[in-house]
A = this chain, B = another copy of it.
Amino acid sequence: MPSARMAGYPLAMAARDLQERIKKLIVDQRLPSGAPLPTEPELMRLLGASRNSVREALKALQAMGIVEIRHGFGTYVGSMSFAPLIEGLAFRTVAGHYRGEDSLLQLLELREAVETGLVSRLAGRLPEADLGALEALVARMEREAAEGTGLAESDRAFHATLYRGLDNVLLGEVLEAFWDAFHRVQQDLVEVAQDPRTTCRQHREILDAVRSGDSLRAERAIRDHFGHLRTRLTPVAAAKG
């Protein structure tokens, strides 16, 4: 005989329900990121389900970034980052690519569409501190370009810093997620042979344009940057498709 099931709950549909009830637990108790959740045995009692069902629910929540599981330590409320979005977006793009779709190009265009729209609003409105940080990043990129080391991390930081000026954490995270997904897939799928010096020049132009306050020039700078990436991408993607 299975178990003395708690009255009031239907016999099936445990799994989907469990997830909801765990989420409700977090919301109802106002648990902040990093707060400890009940242990697996406790959740079993609390939710009236078996260990397996509880674990499956937790695994799903973990995949959504809602919960963080640390072996031998405990389960915690997750950081609610967009790591799952990156994961999903990257997989979707890779799978599409191998099926002959231009999914990588679409991902790049998504970034371009969003960033061109945002950068024009930034032109002339960035605080001096941010401009300085961007300046330092471009300088770092130029140093890295001369040394021949990769400048991916600097590129990521540049874009992140740029849109920090919009003063919306959520937006910043989403853009970073797009960058991460694109970067990961690009590394997995194609060998990009970009000239680092060109990349530096383009970033400096973006910075100068934003500093000058010329919206149209800023937009054009971003579009040039992405356009360059796109031309580097298309033939390789087509050849691999």
Q: What is the interface of chain A, defined by CB distance below 8 A to chain B? A: 15, 23, 26-27, 30-32, 52, 55-57, 59-66, 80, 82, 84-85, 87-88, 91-92, 94-95, 98-99, 103, 106-107, 109-110, 113-114, 116-118, 120-121, 166, 168-171, 174
Contact = CB atoms under 8 A, between A and B. Distances in A.
Contacts of A84: 63-64, 84-85, 88
Contact of A80 (B23, B31, B95): B95
Nearest to A172: B110
B32 A99 contact: yes
A170 B102 CA distance: 11
B110 A91 contact: no
A113 B63 contact: no
Nearest to A107: B170
Given A27-B94, A94-B27, A95-B80, A88 B65 contact: yes
Contact of A15 (B59, B85, B168, B171): B59
29 contacts: A27-B95, A27-B98, A30-B98, A30-B99, A56-B56, A59-B60, A61-B63, A63-B63, A63-B84, A64-B88, A64-B91, A66-B88, A66-B91, A80-B91, A80-B92, A80-B95, A84-B84, A84-B88, A85-B88, A103-B170, A106-B168, A106-B170, A109-B170, A109-B171, A110-B168, A110-B171, A113-B168, A116-B117, A117-B117
Nearest to A93: B170
A99 B95 CA distance: 38
A15 B166 CA distance: 39
Contacts of A65: 88
A209 to B, nearest CB: 16
A24 B206 CA distance: 38
A55 B117 CA distance: 43
Given A64-B91, A109-B168, 6 more contacts: A64-B64, A84-B84, A106-B169, A110-B171, A114-B114, A114-B118
A15 B99 CA distance: 27
Most chain B Cβ neighbours within 10 Å, of A62, A82, A88? A88
Nearest to A169: B106
